[in-house]
C-alpha cells in the first residue's frame, strides 16, 4: 500500500520541514528508546551491576532500527498489546548479550517520557533559530520603511497616521515575546531520569540493595548522558504533564501571533497597500485569473488557529491526570506534541517566506492618505487660526460644517474628498490659505514613529537576537506548495 492509499497529516506530508518531520518519525522515536536503554545499562554497569561490555557493545551497534526490527516489534506488539515490551523484545533479538538486562528496573515511562523530553528539547532547538531569523528579517523591513507614512487604523477605521515600519514593529514586538516564551520553556526543561513505577525509585533501590546514594547517582548519570543539566526531583510514573502544557502554551501563543500578522497583511492586501510575495507563474484563482489571493497569509491564519487551540488539549490532559498517573494522556499526547511542533515549524516557514518578500505600494498608500488626511488635518488648521487670533470655537464650527458637506459628497455621491478645496475657498480661513499645503504634509502627522522604530530595533531587537547571531541570514524559506 502506497502513501497515496492512506491518510497522512498534511503537516508532515505537505508543509513541514524535513528535519521536523523526521524528529517525530517512528525511527527517531524508537531509536531514542534504544539510546535510553544503553544509557541506563552503562550507568548501572558503572555503579556495579553485572552487565557485560559485550551487552553494551551489541546495544550500541544496533541503535538504528531496520525494517526487520520494525516488523519484529509490530508482531510482538500485536501479541503483547504493549509497545515498550515489544521493542524490548526486538532490541534483544539483535543484541542477545543484552536481552536479559535491557530495561532493568525501569518502567515504560522511562522510555516514553524521557524520549518525549528529548523531542521537546530538540524541537525547540529547531524552531527557536527560525523564529529569530524571522524577527531579524522583519526588523530590516521596519527600518527600510520607518519613514513611509501610512494610515493608522483603529476599529478598522482610518485614524492618525503611523508609518509602515512602525506597524511592522507591532508584529516584531509580539514575536519577541514569543521568542522569550519559547526560550524560557526550553531553558526550564528537565529530565525525568530513573524514577520507577510511581516515582519512588523503589525498583532501583531493590536492585542496589537499599543503597540510596547509588540510586541517586544512577539518576544523575543517566540525566548527564542525555545532556540535561538536571532531572525533575519529584515525578509520579510520568513527568508532570504541566511541562507539556507549558511548552505547548508558548507555541500556542505564537500561533495567535501568526493569526494577528496574517490578518493584518490580508486586510492591507484588500486595500492594495501591501501584499505578500506573489510568484511569476502563481495562480491566484482557478476562475478569476486576475486575482492575487493572499494564500500564504490565509494559511498562516488557518494553521495559527490550530496551534493556538492546542494549549487547551495540553491543559486538559494535565488536569485529568489522577494521582501517580492515568493512561488517558497517552493517545492524545502522541497527536498533540508532534502537531504542536510541526505546526510551529510550518508557520515559521510561511512567515519567513512572507516577510522575506513583502511588497509595499507607496503610491496606493499615498492615495489612501490623501483621501482621509483632510479630516485629520483640520485640528492643525484650527490651532493655526487660533495662533493668529481667531476664536477656537468659531474655527471649530466652520470646520464642522465644511467637513459634513465634504463627507456627504464622498458618501452620497461617491466623489473625492473636497474638504481642502472648500477650506481654501472659505473666507474665514483666508489668513492660512498659503500655509494649508505645508500643514497637510503627511510626515508631520506620524509623530515619533520613525524614531520609535529605530530605537526599538537598536535597543530591543538587537539585544534579544544576540544569542542567535549565528542563525541569522537573508535566505528565504522555500515552501513545498
Task: Using DSSP, state whether 159 is helix, strand or coil.
Answer: strand
CB 308 within 8 A of CB 256: yes
- Whether 82 sits among the annotated catalytic residues: the reply is no
* Total residue count of the chain as it appears in this document: 481
C-alpha–C-alpha distance, residues 98 and 221, integer Å: 20
Name the active-site residue from 2, 50, 155, 286: 155
Name the active-site residue from 52, 57, 285, 302: 285
Q: 338-367: string of b/e by CB count within 10 Å (b at 16+)?
A: bbbbbbbbbbbbbbbbbbbbbebeeeebbe
CA-angle at 42, arms to 39 and 44, nearest 5° = 105
C-alpha–C-alpha distance, residues 43 and 45, integer Å: 5
Would you report the helix, strand and coil content of the chain in percent, each value rounded to 5?
Answer: 70, 5, 25
- Whether 285 sits among the annotated catalytic residues: the reply is yes
C-alpha–C-alpha distance, residues 112 and 61, integer Å: 21
CB 231 within 8 A of CB 191: yes
C-alpha–C-alpha distance, residues 112 and 39, integer Å: 14
C-beta atoms surrounding 42 within 10 Å: 17
Residue 162, beta-bridge partner list:
150
With a CB cutoff of 8 Å and minimum separation 6, the contacts of 311 are 245, 248, 249, 251, 252, 253
CB 297 within 8 A of CB 479: no
Q: Which helix (H) or strand (E) holds 448?
A: none
Active centre residues (catalytic)? 155, 285
Amino acid at each position: 500500500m502506497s502513501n497515496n492509499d492512506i491518510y497522512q497529516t498534511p503537516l508532515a506530508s505537505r508543509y513541514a520541514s524535513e528535519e521536523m518531520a523526521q524528529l517525530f518519525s517512528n525511527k527517531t522515536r524508537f531509536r531514542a528508546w534504544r539510546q535510553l536503554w544503553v544509557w541506563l545499562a552503562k550507568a548501572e554497569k558503572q555503579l556495579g551491576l553485572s552487565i557485560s561490555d559485550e551487552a553494551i557493545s551489541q546495544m550500541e551497534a544496533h541503535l538504528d532500527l531496520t525494517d526487520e526490527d520494525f516488523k519484529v516489534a509490530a508482531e510482538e506488539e500485536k501479541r503483547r498489546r504493549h509497545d515498550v515490551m515489544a521493542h524490548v523484545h526486538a532490541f534483544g533479538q539483535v543484541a542477545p548479550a543484552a536481552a536479559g538486562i535491557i530495561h532493568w528496573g525501569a518502567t515504560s515511562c522511562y522510555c516514553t517520557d524521557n524520549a518525549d523530553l528529548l523531542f521537546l528539547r530538540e524541537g525547540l532547538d529547531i524552531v527557536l533559530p527560525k523564529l529569530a531569523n524571522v524577527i531579524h528579517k522583519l526588523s530590516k523591513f521596519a527600518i527600510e520603511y520607518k519613514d513611509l507614512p501610512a494610515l493608522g487604523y483603529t476599529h478598522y477605521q482610518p485614524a492618525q497616521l503611523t508609518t509602515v515600519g512602525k506597524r511592522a514593529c507591532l508584529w516584531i514586538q509580539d514575536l519577541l515575546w514569543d521568542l522569550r516564551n519559547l526560550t524560557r520553556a526550553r531553558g526550564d526543561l528537565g529530565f525525568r531520569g530513573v524514577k520507577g513505577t510511581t516515582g519512588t525509585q523503589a525498583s532501583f533501590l531493590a536492585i542496589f540493595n537499599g543503597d540510596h546514594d547509588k540510586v541517586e547517582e544512577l539518576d544523575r548519570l543517566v540525566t548527564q548522558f542525555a545532556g540535561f543539566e538536571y532531572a525533575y526531583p519529584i515525578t509520579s510514573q510520568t513527568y508532570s504533564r504541566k511541562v507539556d502544557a507549558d511548552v505547548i502554551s508558548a507555541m500556542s501563543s505564537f500561533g495567535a501571533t501568526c493569526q494577528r500578522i496574517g490578518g493584518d497583511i490580508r486586510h492591507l492586501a484588500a486595500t492594495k497597500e501591501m501584499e505578500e510575495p506573489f510568484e511569476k507563474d502563481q495562480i491566484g484563482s482557478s476562475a478569476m485569473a486576475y486575482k492575487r489571493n493572499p494564500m500564504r497569509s490565509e494559511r498562516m491564519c488557518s494553521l495559527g488557529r490550530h496551534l493556538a487551540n492546542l494549549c487547551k488539549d495540553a491543559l486538559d490532559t494535565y488536569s485529568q491526570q489522577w494521582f501517580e498517573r492515568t493512561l488517558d494522556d497517552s493517545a492524545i499526547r502522541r497527536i498533540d506534541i508532534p502537531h504542536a511542533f510541526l505546526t510551529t515549524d510550518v508557520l515559521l516557514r510561511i512567515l519567513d517566506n512572507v516577510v522575506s518578500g513583502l511588497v509595499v505600494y507607496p503610491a496606493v498608500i499615498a492615495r489612501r492618505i490623501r483621501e482621509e488626511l483632510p479630516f485629520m488635518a483640520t485640528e492643525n488648521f484650527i490651532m493655526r487660526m487660533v495662533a493668529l487670533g481667531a476664536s477656537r470655537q468659531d474655527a471649530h464650527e466652520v470646520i464642522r460644517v465644511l467637513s459634513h458637506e465634504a463627507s456627504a459628497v464622498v458618501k452620497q455621491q461617491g466623489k473625492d474628498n473636497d474638504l481642502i478645496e472648500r477650506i481654501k475657498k472659505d473666507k474665514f480661513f483666508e489668513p492660512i490659505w498659503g500655509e494649508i499645503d505645508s500643514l497637510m504634509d503627511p510626515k508631520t502627522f506620524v509623530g515619533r514613529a520613525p524614531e520609535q522604530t529605530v530605537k526599538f530595533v537598536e535597543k530591543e531587537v538587537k539585544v534579544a537576537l544576540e544569542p542567535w547571531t549565528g542563525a541569522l541570514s537573508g535566505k528565504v524559506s522555500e515552501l513545498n506548495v
